[in-house]
Structure 1
Amino acid sequence: MNDFDILGKKIGNLDEVMDLSIAQLGVNYNHFAVLYTLMSEKNHQCTQKFICDEWLIPKQTVFNICKDYKEKGWIEFFESPTDKREKIMQLTDAGKVQAEPIWQASNEFSQAVFKAFGKKKTEQLFALLDEFCQIGREQIAQNDNKK
């Protein structure tokens, strides 16, 4: 097993922890992504494309979730002031009632985990991940230059 295989397993373990924490909230990953993002963004609004790009979820999946939430009265759509082709969606008051407990519980979980892990180790983890990604990008560039 090479180091990338081991890294993949570690990332898989992290994904499993995140999935378990989301399942405790009573939603699946895709629904969590939509509600959490809308709750987190300024004025509780964003585009479907933003969610797709941030969470790597297919457009059709996000579209179907948002369609369902619109029918439930949790979100509303309006035209973007900068691009008439783009639709902005925003949580309604009813949507905030649904999204706020999920957002709050997720943040509490995150704070508890990182507090237990420790500030110094958290800073080291993030710095090492940044460095690792930079080295990977440099290696890719070197490989491109060899072609």
Structure 2
Amino acid sequence: MSRRYLVWALCYAAIGMALGIYMAASHNHGQLVTHAHVLMVGFVVSLVYGIIHRLWLDMPRRALAMTQFVLHQAAAAVLLVGLFLLYGGKATEATLGPLLGIGSIGVLLGMLLMLYMVVRPGTAAAIQPSPTDQAAA
């Protein structure tokens, strides 16, 4: 799962950077909110989830981990496309509001599932102090 999250995170980073470069070149910063969400919800959160999988989740249930992954990526995509359409003036807030709400709630549910996987006994590795930490104590 960590590699999947890393690949998606880097894709979001490339999209966010490209959008930032476009805004700078065009002197039109109307997509600033979209740009920030692509980088935070897409890149940063996906990267953090990948790090959590790599460092702390030993044996998450495959179905739960996959559900969390798909939920986060689908909800992030819905949210980001909705923001792009909204701030691009392609649709009204009244039209996109339900879509943005679904995307936002989906991202939150993905976070709650990740939290569950981290705190669920037997899923996350216990953080062991290093030998230097033990000697200092």
The alignment's TM-score, normalised by the length of structure 1, stands at 0.29
Question: Relative contact order: is structure 1 or structure 2 higher (C-alpha 8 Å, sep ≥ 6)?
Answer: 2
The alignment's TM-score, normalised by the length of structure 2, stands at 0.31
Higher Cα radius of gyration: 1
User: Which structure: greater strand fraction?
Assistant: 1
